[in-house]
């Protein structure tokens, strides 16, 4: 760990660029940078996005918790504040269905020639600016602390062992995938 | 090489590789994959250049270091996403201009102006909501999800729910016509 970290000292911007490069490539290969794929997920006609996300969560999560157990990484949890997460998540979901991309995939879609994706990226910048204008009011109304619970994970909340939870989540996910392959098989290219 | 130049990979393969990429990001950069804060940073950069007095008074952009108008790890990540998607699109010959996508055309119509208007509105809502919630499909969805964060799973659930309801109301295509791809 120490050697890799010191090797990367001062090169973290390049590390971010390289990791982003692979991420962008994977978003394209997965079809996540395509409007039709994302919207058809929301219309429950194409489960590509769900398959990608759940597989990433399962593989990523088991690995991160294993690395954490070995002392190689630490978690970076966003605080669980139910008020803004519920309201913001609801608004964000509506926006995503209309735009047809998540923020990362929106950027990737522009690289693939999506003109409406580019307009969407402009919209996202305006949305970020608009949120910055609204922020003092939300702060004043104490909206951003509403139902705040701090960092909260399911193993803590449920009081069960992390690995037992991963076995349950993994089992449930594999079962869901098997079900989806029967109902809506992955398209062969 | 066929593998690298294929237009699409299996979603499981892509998901697995994104999962592994998360290990790499945590391990070498001590960072989760996330995108939406980089948009706030970009908005801060634009506002600082276009309206410096207004920017100076902005409470949000000065609330956290990660919104400071200079490139950081996550901002470079988003630049990388563009470059990586471009590279992948080029080698698989999958780059073509698109204004009105298939599903929009069959559900709503061929008007480019209407599509662009709603893409803009959708983008505004997507990012406004993501900043309020403190993350997007990457930061909350994948990175928060894999850390088993209760708030992130709440975000995933509620955004998936409202997205599904919106899409089912907005895009009504005739059932017989499946979207013709390739």
The alpha carbon of residue A170 is apart from the nearest alpha carbon of chain B, in Å, by 12
Using a CB–CB cutoff of 8 Å, tell me whether A30 touches chain B: yes
Using a CB–CB cutoff of 8 Å, tell me whether A6 touches chain B: no
Residues 6+ apart with CB under 8 A from B61: A132, B40, B43, B44, B47, B55, B67, B68, B69
- The answer to whether residues B80 and A14 touch, using CB atoms and an 8 Å cutoff, is no
Instruction: Please state, for a pLDDT cut of 90, what percent of chain B lies above it.
Output: 93
The alpha carbon of residue A171 is apart from the nearest alpha carbon of chain B, in Å, by 15
B148: nearest CA partner in chain A? A153
> Which pLDDT score, from 0 to 100, does residue A5 have?
59
> Which pLDDT score, from 0 to 100, does residue B181 have?
45
Question: To which H or E segment does residue B2 belong?
Answer: helix B2-5
DSSP assignment of A151-176: S-BHHHHHT--HHHHHHHHHHHHHHH
User: Please, what is the angle between helix A82-99 and helix A35-42, to 10°?
Assistant: 120
As a whole number of Å, the end-to-end CA separation of chain B is 21
pTM value?
A: 0.94
Neighbours of B87 (CB within 10 A): 17
Interchain contact, A80 vs B39, CB within 8 Å: no
So what's the ipTM on this one?
A: 0.95
Average pLDDT over residues B20-32: 97
How is residue B137 annotated by DSSP? I
Which band of pLDDT confidence, cut at 50, 70 and 90, is reported for residue A10?
A: confident
- Dist. CA A100–CA A139, nearest whole Å: 30
- The answer to whether residues A107 and B127 touch, using CB atoms and an 8 Å cutoff, is no
- Dist. CA B48–CA A39, nearest whole Å: 35
Indicate the domain borders of chain B. Answer: 1-97, 100-172
The alpha carbon of residue A150 is apart from the nearest alpha carbon of chain B, in Å, by 9
B159: nearest CA partner in chain A? A93
Interchain contact, B61 vs A132, CB within 8 Å: yes
> Which pLDDT score, from 0 to 100, does residue B175 have?
53
Give yes or no for residue A44 having a pLDDT over 70.
Answer: yes
Sort B53 into a burial class: Cβ within 10 Å, 0-12 / 13-18 / 19+.
exposed
In this complex, the residue of B31, B75, B167 whose CB is nearest that of residue A97 is B167
CB interface of A with B, residues 36-95, below 8 Å: 36, 39-40, 42-44, 47-49, 51-61, 63-64, 67, 72-82, 84-95
Average pLDDT over residues A147-158: 97
User: Does A2 or B54 have the greater pLDDT score?
Assistant: B54
In this complex, the residue of B46, B124, B147 whose CB is nearest that of residue A130 is B124
- Dist. CA B102–CA B7, nearest whole Å: 18
Q: What are phi and psi of A114, to 5 degrees?
A: -80, 110
Using a CB–CB cutoff of 8 Å, tell me whether A161 touches chain B: no
Which band of pLDDT confidence, cut at 50, 70 and 90, is reported for residue A36?
A: very high
Give yes or no for residue B177 having a pLDDT over 60.
Answer: no
Give yes or no for residue A119 having a pLDDT over 80.
Answer: yes
Q: Which residues of B touch A123 (CB under 8 A)?
A: 119-124, 126-127
Which band of pLDDT confidence, cut at 50, 70 and 90, is reported for residue B40?
A: very high
A163: nearest CA partner in chain B? B148
Interchain contact, A20 vs B81, CB within 8 Å: yes
Interchain contact, A107 vs B78, CB within 8 Å: yes
In this complex, the residue of A63, A108, A135 whose CB is nearest that of residue B19 is A63
Tens-digit pLDDT profile for residues B132-174:
999 999 999 999 999 999 999 999 999 999 999 999 999 987 5
Q: Which residues of A touch B166 (CB under 8 A)?
A: 42, 93-94, 97-98
């Amino acid at each position: 760990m120490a050697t890799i970290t010191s090797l990367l000292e001062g090169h973290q911007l390049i590390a971010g660029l390289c990791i982003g490069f692979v991420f962008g490539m994977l978003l394209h290969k997965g079809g996540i940078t395509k409007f039709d794929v994302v919207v058809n997920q929301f219309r429950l006609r194409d489960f590509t996005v769900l398959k990608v996300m759940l597989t990433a969560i399962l593989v990523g999560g088991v690995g991160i918790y294993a690395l954490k157990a070995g002392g190689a990484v630490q978690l970076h949890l966003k605080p669980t504040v139910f008020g803004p997460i519920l309201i913001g998540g609801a608004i964000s979901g509506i926006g995503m269905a209309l735009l047809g991309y998540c923020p990362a995939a929106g950027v990737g879609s522009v690289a693939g020639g999506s003109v409406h994706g580019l307009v969407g990226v402009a919209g996202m910048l305006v949305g970020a600016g608009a949120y910055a204008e609204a922020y003092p009011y939300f702060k004043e109304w104490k909206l951003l602390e509403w139902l705040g619970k701090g960092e909260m994970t399911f193993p803590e909340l449920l009081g069960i062992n992390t690995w037992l939870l991963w076995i349950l989540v993994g089992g449930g996910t594999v079962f869901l995938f098997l079900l989806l392959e029967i109902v809506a098989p992955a398209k062969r290219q | 090489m066929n593998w690298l130049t294929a237009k699409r990979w299996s979603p499981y393969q892509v998901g697995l590789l994104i999962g592994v990429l998360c290990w790499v990001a945590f391990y070498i950069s001590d960072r989760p994959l996330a995108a939406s804060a980089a948009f706030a940073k970009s908005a801060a950069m634009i506002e600082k250049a276009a309206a410096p007095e207004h920017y100076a008074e902005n409470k949000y952009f000065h609330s956290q270091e990660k919104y400071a108008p200079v490139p950081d790890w996550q901002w470079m990540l988003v630049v990388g996403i563009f470059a990586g998607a471009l590279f992948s699109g080029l080698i698989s010959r999958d780059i073509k201009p698109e204004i009105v996508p298939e599903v929009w055309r069959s559900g709503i119509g061929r008007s480019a102006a209407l599509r662009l208007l709603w893409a803009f509105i959708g983008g505004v809502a997507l990012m406004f909501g993501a900043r309020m919630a403190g993350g997007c499909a990457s930061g909350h969805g994948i990175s928060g999800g894999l850390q088993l964060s209760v708030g992130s799973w709440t975000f995933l659930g509620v955004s998936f729910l409202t997205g599904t309801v919106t899409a089912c109301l907005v895009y009504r295509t005739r059932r017989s016509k499946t979207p013709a791809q390739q």
